[in-house]
Structure 1
Amino acid sequence: MTNEHPASSTKPKLNFRFLLSGAWIGGFVFCIIFAIATVFLGNWQMDRRMDKLDEINTIVDNYDKQPVSYAEASHVFSDFDEQQKWTPITVRGEYLDEDTLVARNRPRAGRPGFEVLVPFRTDSGDRILVDRGWLPLGVDASAPDSVPAPPEGQTEIIIRAMPGEVSVDRGAPEGQVASINLASIRDQLGYDIADEAYGLMAAESPAPAESPQQMPEPQRDEGPHLSYSMQWFTFGLMSFVVWGWLAYQKAVRNREDEMYGEREEDGFISAHRVERVKPVKRRKGQMTDEEIEDAMLNG
Structure 2
Amino acid sequence: MRRYLFPLVIGICGAAVLISLGLWQLRRLEWKEAYLAEIEARIGGTPAALATTFDPETDRFQPVAVAGRFTGDQLRVLSGVKGIGPGHRMIAGFETDTGRRILIDRGFLPQQAPGGTPPEGAVQVTGNLHWPREADEFTPDPDLKADLWFARDVPAMAAHLGTEPVLIVARQVSGDNGDVLPQPVDTSGIPNDHLEYALTWFGLTIVWLGMTALLMWRIRRKTV
With normalisation by structure 2, the TM-score equals 0.77
Map 1:11-160 → 2, pairs under 5 A: 16-19=1-4, 25=7, 29=10, 32=13, 36=17, 39-40=20-21, 43=24, 47=28, 50-51=31-32, 53-59=34-40, 61-70=41-50, 73-75=51-53, 78-82=54-58, 84-97=59-72, 99-104=73-78, 106-109=79-82, 111-138=85-112, 145-160=113-128
TM-superposed CA distance for 1:171, in Å, is 2.5
Q: Give the aligned length.
A: 218
TM-superposed CA distance for 1:131, in Å, is 0.5
RMSD: 3.4
Map 1:204-215 → 2, pairs under 5 A: 204-205=173-174, 207-208=175-176, 210-215=178-183
Q: Is the 8 A contact 2:21 2:198 kept in 1?
A: no
Query: How far apart, in 2, do the equivalents of 1:108 and 1:65 lie?
Result: 26
In structure 2, the residue matched to 1:5 is: none
Query: How far apart, in 2, do the equivalents of 1:45 and 1:149 lie?
Result: 48
Aligned residues with identical type, % of pairs: 18
Which residue identity lines up with residue 103 of structure 1 in the other structure?
Answer: V
**SS of the residue 2:39 aligns to:** helix
TM-superposed CA distance for 1:160, in Å, is 1.4
In structure 2, the residue matched to 1:8 is: none
Query: How far apart, in 2, do the equivalents of 1:46 and 1:107 lie?
Result: 34
Which residue identity lines up with residue 66 of structure 1 in the other structure?
Answer: T
2:170 corresponds, among 201, 205, 218, to 201
Q: 1:216 to 1:231 in 2, by over 3 A?
A: same
Q: 1:81 to 1:222 in 2, by over 3 A?
A: closer
**SS of the residue 1:148 aligns to:** coil
Which of 1 and 2 has greater Rg?
1
Query: How far apart, in 2, do the equivalents of 1:170 and 1:247 lie?
Result: 55
Larger RCO (alpha carbons 8 Å, 6+ apart): 2
- Residues 104-160 of structure 1 deviation map (CA, whole Å, 9 limit, x = unaligned): 1x221152221000011112222111010101223xxxxxx5332222222222121
Structure 1: runs of 5 or more not aligned? 1-15, 139-144, 258-299
Q: Is the 8 A contact 1:149 1:211 kept in 2?
A: no
In structure 2, the residue matched to 1:230 is: 199
- Residues 269-290 of structure 1 deviation map (CA, whole Å, 9 limit, x = unaligned): xxxxxxxxxxxxxxxxxxxxxx
